[in-house]
Amino acid sequence: MSGVNQNVNLDRPKGRVLFVGTSYYNGKHLSRELRKLGWKADTLTFVGSGEEQYEPDFLLDRRGRINWLATLKFYLHAIKHYDIFHFSGAHNLTFLDRRNRCWDTNLLRLLGKKIVYSNNGCLDGVSQSSFRKWLPEPVCDSCKWQDVPSVCSDERNLQWGKLRNEVADYQITLGGNRVDYNDDSRVHEVPEFYCLDPHVWDPELLVPSNYRLSYEPGTVKILHAVGNFYSRSDVKIKKNIKSTHLYLPVIERLKQEGYKVELLFFHDVPSKQFRYYQVQADIVVDMLTFGFFGANIREAMMLAKPAVCFLRPEWLESMKTEIPEYVKELPIVNATPQTIYQVLKELVEHPEKRREIGLRGRDFAIKWHSAQAGARKLDRIYTDLLGK
In this predicted model, what pLDDT tens digit does every residue of 323-348 receive, in sequence order? 999 999 999 999 999 999 999 999 99
Look at residue 11 and tell me if it is in a domain. Answer: no
Q: What is the pLDDT of residue 9?
A: 57
Look at residue 309 and tell me if it is in a domain. Answer: yes
Q: In degrees rounded to 5, what are phi and psi of residue 75?
A: -55, -45
Q: What is the pLDDT of residue 65?
A: 81
Look at residue 6 and tell me if it is in a domain. Answer: no
> Please, what is the average pLDDT of the chain?
93
Look at residue 253 and tell me if it is in a domain. Answer: yes
Q: What is the pLDDT of residue 40?
A: 97
Q: What is the pLDDT of residue 55?
A: 86
Give the 3-state secondary structure of 178-202.
CCHHHCCCCEEECHHHCCECCCCCC
Q: Residue 51 maps to which CATH number? A: 3.40.50
Same domain for 380 and 353, yes or no, is: no
Dist CA 296 CA 228 (whole Å): 14
Q: What is the pLDDT of residue 4?
A: 46
Residue ranges with strand state E in the chain: 16-20, 40-46, 58-60, 84-88, 114-118, 170-173, 187-189, 220-226, 261-267, 283-285, 307-309, 333-334
Same domain for 149 and 221, yes or no, is: no
Ranking 210-224, 227-241, 305-319 by mean pLDDT, the lowest is 227-241
Give the 3-state secondary structure of 37-62.
CCCEEEEEEECCCCCHHHCCCEEECC
Dist CA 99 CA 96 (whole Å): 9
Q: At what angle do helices 154-167 and 103-110 cross, to 10 degrees?
A: 20
Mean of pLDDT values over 23-37: 94
Given a contact cutoff of 8 angstroms between Cβ atoms, the answer to whether 106 and 167 are in contact is: yes
Given a contact cutoff of 8 angstroms between Cβ atoms, the answer to whether 9 and 35 are in contact is: no
Mean of pLDDT values over 271-300: 96
Counts for the chain of helices (H) and strands (E), in that order: 14, 12
Inter-CA distances, 145 with 128, 239, 299, 362, Å: 10, 12, 26, 34
Ranking 227-231, 247-251, 332-336 by mean pLDDT, the lowest is 227-231
152 pLDDT higher than 90: yes
Look at residue 202 and tell me if it is in a domain. Answer: no
Same domain for 170 and 264, yes or no, is: no
214 backbone φψ class: left, alpha, beta (φ>0; ψ -120 to 50): beta
1 pLDDT higher than 60: no
Q: What is the pLDDT of residue 8?
A: 56
Domain interval for residue 300? 209-369
Given a contact cutoff of 8 angstroms between Cβ atoms, the answer to whether 334 and 327 are in contact is: no
Given a contact cutoff of 8 angstroms between Cβ atoms, the answer to whether 42 and 19 are in contact is: yes
Closest CA to 161 of 180, 178, 175, 177: 180
Q: How many residues does the chain have?
A: 388
Dist CA 242 CA 118 (whole Å): 22
Ranking 131-140, 178-187, 211-220 by mean pLDDT, the lowest is 131-140
Give residue 164's pLDDT band: very low, low, confident or very high (50, 70, 90).
very high
Same domain for 57 and 68, yes or no, is: yes
Mean of pLDDT values over 290-310: 97
Mean of pLDDT values over 367-372: 98
Q: Residue 327 maps to which CATH number? A: 3.40.50.2000
Q: What is the pLDDT of residue 63?
A: 83
Same domain for 213 and 258, yes or no, is: yes
In the chain, how many domains are there?
2
Same domain for 189 and 304, yes or no, is: no
Mean of pLDDT values over 375-379: 98
Give residue 2's pLDDT band: very low, low, confident or very high (50, 70, 90).
very low
Residues near 62 by Cβ (< 8 Å), separated by ≥ 6?
Answer: 46, 47, 68, 71, 96, 98
Same domain for 216 and 177, yes or no, is: no
Given a contact cutoff of 8 angstroms between Cβ atoms, the answer to whether 176 and 189 are in contact is: yes
Same domain for 157 and 222, yes or no, is: no
Same domain for 170 and 287, yes or no, is: no
355 pLDDT higher than 70: yes
Mean of pLDDT values over 345-373: 98
Look at residue 176 and tell me if it is in a domain. Answer: yes
Q: What is the pTM of this model?
A: 0.93
Q: What is the pLDDT of residue 288?
A: 96
Closest CA to 170 of 107, 87, 105, 96: 87
Same domain for 189 and 227, yes or no, is: no
How many other C-beta atoms can be found within 10 angstroms of the C-beta atom of residue 129? 14
Q: What is the pLDDT of residue 10?
A: 59
In this predicted model, what pLDDT tens digit does every residue of 49-71 receive, in sequence order? 777 778 899 999 888 888 889 99
Given a contact cutoff of 8 angstroms between Cβ atoms, the answer to whether 131 and 314 are in contact is: no
Give residue 370's pLDDT band: very low, low, confident or very high (50, 70, 90).
very high
Look at residue 322 and tell me if it is in a domain. Answer: yes
Same domain for 188 and 216, yes or no, is: no
Residue ranges with strand state E in 301-342: 307-309, 333-334
Residues near 116 by Cβ (< 8 Å), separated by ≥ 6?
Answer: 84, 85, 86, 87, 168, 169, 170, 171, 172, 381, 382, 385
What percent of the chain has pLDDT above 90? Answer: 79
Given a contact cutoff of 8 angstroms between Cβ atoms, the answer to whether 301 and 191 are in contact is: no
Q: What is the pLDDT of residue 3?
A: 46
7 pLDDT higher than 80: no
- Per DSSP, 350 falls in state -
6 pLDDT higher than 60: no
Dist CA 344 CA 264 (whole Å): 14
Same domain for 283 and 167, yes or no, is: no
Give residue 221's pLDDT band: very low, low, confident or very high (50, 70, 90).
very high
Q: What is the pLDDT of residue 12?
A: 79
Look at residue 1 and tell me if it is in a domain. Answer: no
Mean of pLDDT values over 92-107: 86
